[in-house]
């Protein structure tokens, strides 16, 4: 069986500028931040980013990687508004396709089922069709004849998601309370890359956790990256919660260009090991205070 | 001895009343005062309601704000919540940044959508919620900036939009009530326009009119929002919000 373990740099090397990339997780919860950081360090540009958005969107915008956003919301959860997202929107600096949360799910599901669209009530009567003039209606061919919104498939060139555990082949496990829509992101993508807290031998996946935690199967996955604390500073229950203190530092830095330059120098202008070391040193410093 | 009932406590009761009669459905309160209200409703007059821990677990019993339920009765990750929304067995209370006379709301962007003056959250679940199941709103500061003649980006749809968009939009559309720091409003006016249903104790009708940026329908007699009973007050103060967070969100 093919082993798919690779590095974050290997993942970035398989991506191209201009691609449509889906990002798993939800808000500031279990985001594949190690892979996001690797993209931020790369030469990639002009990405279309599809996400239930959190700091993944903010970081990619701050690094100038995204040309277009496709989203239902962008939020840091405990901090409702994402500062980089706000700045980019208010500068008119980014193309957007804003959909209802359920519409986004339907678009990913249509793509994963290889259908051109799925019908939905969500969005009818709202301004979502006004700001997405490409959206079309569809009439039921049955006796009810109802006119519904036809949510187009959101096909992805690539998806990145973060799981709790995975084997070397991409059979992945979510130990937290919510798998979010990561399996849909993987199935909607030509190639899906999965980072995880730990790569384990296959038998370990079911040694201590129920079968239902095995949400992602190897046929969905092109590459596996072991990235401990790879969702930091978003949550990855039960291994760790959101680093609220770090998120506050991120959000206040993001609101001010000089502070952001400092933040970037302290944490982001280095590889993943450097980032994690800086975070650990920060935490140790906080304990000494 | 109990101290005087605060405005926040009246607001919590007014939010709780939104779920009266709902039976065995998911109550989804967004924000602190709606969360107190939903837990209060279930602990008293609406015991069949389902409530989440704010993430993916359905809990039984009555637990404090910031605490976790002791008994888990179900698993409700986002995927299952979406299915439940499409199925209709839910009544959500959301907090809009703008709302108009027909109940159209905006949580997405203030100003021109392409280059907003203020980018907010995005439309989130509002487009789907409002065409799928009952929806109520909580507005902690009732001002003309929130109650506007026209919202900038219709995220959740009101009665005029639902009627114009046809049966699939209108079939399950139902806006129950809007609770604010000043009173309770419903959509019982002409053509489902917003109507003043009650004013909180100590609030004058003209105060609500002045804080509303469109012509509000006001009946001849405007009742006063009921105050919590001693048993309800005890639940709010001792069980649901013992730290008194409610009074920091809504002033006296």
The answer as to whether A271 is a domain residue is: no
A72 within a domain of the structure (yes/no): yes
Give the H/E segment covering residue A254: helix A244-254
CA distance between the termini of chain B: 19
pLDDT score of B200: 98
Domain span at residue A93 reads 8-114+154-242
Q: Which of B99, B122, B161 to mutate to test the interface with A (most CBs of A within 10 A)?
A: B122
Q: Is residue B155 part of a domain?
A: yes
Nearest to A180 by CA among A71, A42, A27: A27
CA quadruple B22, B27, B31, B36: dihedral sign? positive
pLDDT score, position B1:
43
Contact B126 A103 (CB under 8 A): no
> Is residue B17 classed as helix, strand or coil in its secondary structure?
helix
**Euclidean distance between CA atoms B153 and B113, whole angstroms:** 7
User: Mean of the per-residue pLDDT values for chain B?
Assistant: 97
Statement to judge: residues A17 and A34 lie in one domain: yes
pLDDT, position B252: 76
H/E segment holding residue B218: none
CB < 8 Å to B57, chain A: 177
B161 at A interface, C-beta within 8 A: yes
In angstroms, the CA A259 to CA A250 distance is: 9
Residue A199 φ then ψ, to 5°: -90, 125
Q: Cα distance from A99 to chain B (closest Cα, Å)?
A: 7
- State whether residue A177 sits within 8 Å of chain B by CB: yes
Question: Would the CB atoms of B77 and A102 count as touching at under 8 Å?
Answer: no
> Once rounded to an integer, what is the mean pLDDT over residues B119-138?
98
* Total number of domains in chain A: 2
Query: Does residue A218 sit in the same domain as residue A123?
Result: no
Phi first, then psi, for residue B120 (nearest 5°) are -100, -140
One domain, residues A22 and A89: yes
End-to-end CA distance of chain A: 50
Q: Considering only the beta carbons, identify the residue of A90, A131, A146 that sits closest to B167.
A: A146
The predicted structure's pLDDT at residue B115: 98
Provide the number of CB pairs (under 8 Å) joining chain A to chain B. Answer: 131
The H or E element that residue B28 is part of is strand B26-29
A187: contact with B, CB 8 A cutoff = no
Residues A190, A65 within the same domain = yes
Contact A121 B172 (CB under 8 A): yes
Domain identity same for A175 and A146: no
Provide the percentage of residues in chain B whose pLDDT is more than 90.
Answer: 97
Q: Do the Cβ atoms of A128 and B127 come within 8 Å?
A: yes
User: What's the confidence (pLDDT) of residue B2?
Assistant: 64
Residues A94 and A144 in one domain: no
Question: Does A263 map to a domain?
Answer: no
Q: Which residues of B touch A127 (CB under 8 A)?
A: 108, 113, 153-155
Question: Helix or strand or coil: residue B151?
Answer: coil
Please tell me the total count of domains within chain B: 1
Q: State chain B's maximal CA–CA distance in angstroms.
A: 56
In a domain, residue A255? The reply is: no
| Residue pair B57/B72 in contact by the 8 Å Cβ criterion | yes
Mutate to test the interface with B, among A81, A123, A124, A254 (most CBs of B within 10 A): A124
Burial A187-216 (b: 16+ CB within 10 A, else e): bbbebbbbbbbebbeeeebeeeeeeebbbb
CA gap A6, A28 in Å, rounded: 25
Residue with tokens 């009439």: A139
pLDDT tens series, chain A, 289 aa:
899 999 999 999 999 999 999 999 999 999 999 999 999 999 999 999 999 999 999 999 999 999 999 999 999 999 999 999 999 999 999 999 999 999 999 999 999 999 999 999 999 999 999 999 999 999 999 999 999 999 999 999 999 999 999 999 999 999 999 999 999 999 999 999 999 999 999 999 999 899 999 999 999 999 999 999 999 999 999 999 999 999 999 999 999 999 999 999 999 999 999 999 999 999 998 766 5
Look at A178 and B55 and tell me if their CB atoms are within 8 Å: yes
Among B115, B128, B156, whose Cβ lies nearest the Cβ of A90?
B115
Phi, then psi, of B98 in degrees rounded to 5: -135, 145
**Nearest C-alpha in B relative to A127:** B154
Residue A194 structure tokens: 């999965």
**Model pLDDT, residue A288:** 62
Q: How many C-beta neighbours within 10 Å does residue A102 have? A: 26
Separation in Å, CA of A286 to nearest CA in chain B: 24
How many CB atoms lie under 10 A from the CB of residue B206? 10
Average pLDDT over residues B29-51: 98
| Biggest alpha carbon–alpha carbon distance for chain A | 71
Is B37 inside a domain boundary? Answer: yes
The pLDDT value given to residue A287: 67
B216-234: average pLDDT: 97
B150: pLDDT strictly greater than 70 = yes
- Compute chain B's Rg from CA coordinates: 18
Instruction: Please give, rounded to a whole number of angstroms, the shortest distance from the CA of B132 to a CA of chain A.
Output: 8
Domain identity same for A23 and A99: yes
Q: B126–A73: do the CB atoms touch at under 8 Å? A: no
Q: How far is B113 from chain A (nearest CA, A)?
A: 8
What pLDDT does A1 receive? Answer: 84
Asked if B125's CB is within 8 angstroms of A124's CB, the reply is no
Residues A126 and A165 grouped into a single domain: no
Distance CA A237, CA A175 (A): 7
The reply to whether A123 and A200 lie within a common domain is: no
User: Which pLDDT belongs to residue A6?
Assistant: 98
Which uninterrupted H or E stretch holds B197?
strand B195-199
Token pair of A260 as six digits:
């952001």
Of A89, A98, A121, the CB nearest to B132: A121
Q: What is the pLDDT of residue B165?
A: 96
Helices A272-288 and A244-254: crossing angle, nearest 10°?
110
| A139 at B interface, C-beta within 8 A | no
Give pLDDT, residue B125: 98
Q: Is A264 exposed, middle or buried (0-12, 13-18, 19+ CB in 10 A)?
A: middle
Residue B1 belongs to some domain of the structure: no
Task: Identify from A79, A122, A131, A142 which residue to disrupt to test chain B contact, counting B C-beta atoms within 10 A and taking the largest count.
Answer: A122
Interface contact B57-A53, CB threshold 8 A: no
Query: Hey, is the C-beta of A146 within 8 angstroms of any chain B C-beta?
Result: yes
Tell me the residue range of the domain where B111 lies: 7-249
Q: What is the pLDDT of residue A286?
A: 75
Task: Tell if the CB–CB gap between A73 and B122 is shorter than 8 Å.
Answer: yes
pLDDT in tens, B59-118: 999 999 999 999 999 999 999 999 999 999 999 999 999 999 999 999 999 999 999 999
> Which of B119, B151, B160, B161 should one mutate to test binding to chain A, selecting the residue with the greatest count of A CBs within 10 A?
B119
Distance (Å, whole) CA A265 – CA A262: 5
The CATH number for B225's domain is 3.40.1080.10
Higher pLDDT: A288 or B237? It is B237
Q: Distance, in angstroms, between A181 CA and closest chain B CA?
A: 7
Confirm or reject contact between B108 and chain A (CB < 8 A).
yes
Considering the domain architecture, whether residues A165 and A182 belong to the same structural domain is answered as: yes
Whether A76 and A168 map to the same domain: the answer is yes
B24-29 mean pLDDT: 98
DSSP 8-state assignment for residue A51: E
The answer to whether residues A145 and A15 belong to one domain is no
């Amino acid at each position: 069986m093919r082993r798919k373990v690779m590095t974050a740099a290997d993942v970035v090397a398989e991506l191209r500028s201009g691609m449509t990339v889906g990002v798993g997780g939800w808000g500031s919860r279990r985001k594949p931040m190690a892979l996001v950081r690797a993209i931020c360090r790369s030469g990639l540009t002009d990405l279309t980013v599809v996400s239930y958005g959190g700091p993944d969107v903010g970081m990619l915008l701050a690094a100038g990687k995204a040309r277009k956003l496709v989203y239902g919301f962008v939020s840091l959860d405990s901090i409702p508004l994402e500062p980089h997202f706000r700045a980019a929107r208010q500068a008119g600096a980014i193309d957007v396709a804003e959909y209802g949360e359920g519409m986004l799910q339907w678009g990913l599901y249509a793509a994963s089922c290889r259908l051109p669209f799925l019908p939905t009530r969500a969005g009818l009567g709202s301004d979502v069709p006004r700001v997405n003039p490409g959206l079309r209606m569809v009439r039921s061919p049955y006796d009810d004849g109802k006119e519904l919104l036809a949510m187009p498939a959101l096909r992805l060139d690539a998806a990145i998601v973060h799981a709790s555990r995975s084997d070397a082949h991409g059979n992945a496990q979510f130990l937290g309370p919510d798998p979010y829509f990561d399996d849909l992101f993987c199935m909607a993508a030509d190639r899906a890359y999965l980072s995880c807290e730990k790569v384990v031998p296959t038998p370990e996946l079911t040694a201590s956790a129920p079968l239902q935690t095995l949400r992602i199967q190897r046929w969905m996955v092109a590459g596996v990256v072991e990235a401990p604390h790879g969702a930091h500073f978003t949550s990855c229950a039960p291994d760790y919660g959101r680093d609220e203190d770090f998120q506050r530092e991120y959000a206040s830095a993001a609101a001010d260009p000089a502070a952001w330059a400092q933040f970037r120098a302290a944490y982001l202008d280095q590889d993943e090991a450097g980032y994690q070391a800086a975070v650990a040193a920060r935490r140790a410093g906080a304990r000494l205070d | 001895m109990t101290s005087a009932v605060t405005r926040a406590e009246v607001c919590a009761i007014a939010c709780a009343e939104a779920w009266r009669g709902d039976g065995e459905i998911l109550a989804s309160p967004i924000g602190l005062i709606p969360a107190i209200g939903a837990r209060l409703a279930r602990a008293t007059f609406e015991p069949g309601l389902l409530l989440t821990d704010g993430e993916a677990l359905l809990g039984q019993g009555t637990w404090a704000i910031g605490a976790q339920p002791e008994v888990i009765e179900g698993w409700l990750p986002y995927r299952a919540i979406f299915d439940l929304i499409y199925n209709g067995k839910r009544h959500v209370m959301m907090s809009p940044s703008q709302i108009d006379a027909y109940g159209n709301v905006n949580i997405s962007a203030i100003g021109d959508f392409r280059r907003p003056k203020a980018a907010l959250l995005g439309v989130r679940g509002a487009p789907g919620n409002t065409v799928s199941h009952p929806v109520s709103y909580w507005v902690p500061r009732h001002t003309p900036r929130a109650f506007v003649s026209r919202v900038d980006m219709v995220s959740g749809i009101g009665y005029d939009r639902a009627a114009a968009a046809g049966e699939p939009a209108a079939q399950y559309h139902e806006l129950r009530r809007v609770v604010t720091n000043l009173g309770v409003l419903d959509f019982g006016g002409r053509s489902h326009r917003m109507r003043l249903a009650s004013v909180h104790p100590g609030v004058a009708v003209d105060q609500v009119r002045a804080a509303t940026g469109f012509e509000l329908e006001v009946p001849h007699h405007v009742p006063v929002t009921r105050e919590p009973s001693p048993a309800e007050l005890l639940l709010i103060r001792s069980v649901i919000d013992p730290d008194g967070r409610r009074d920091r969100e809504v002033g006296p």
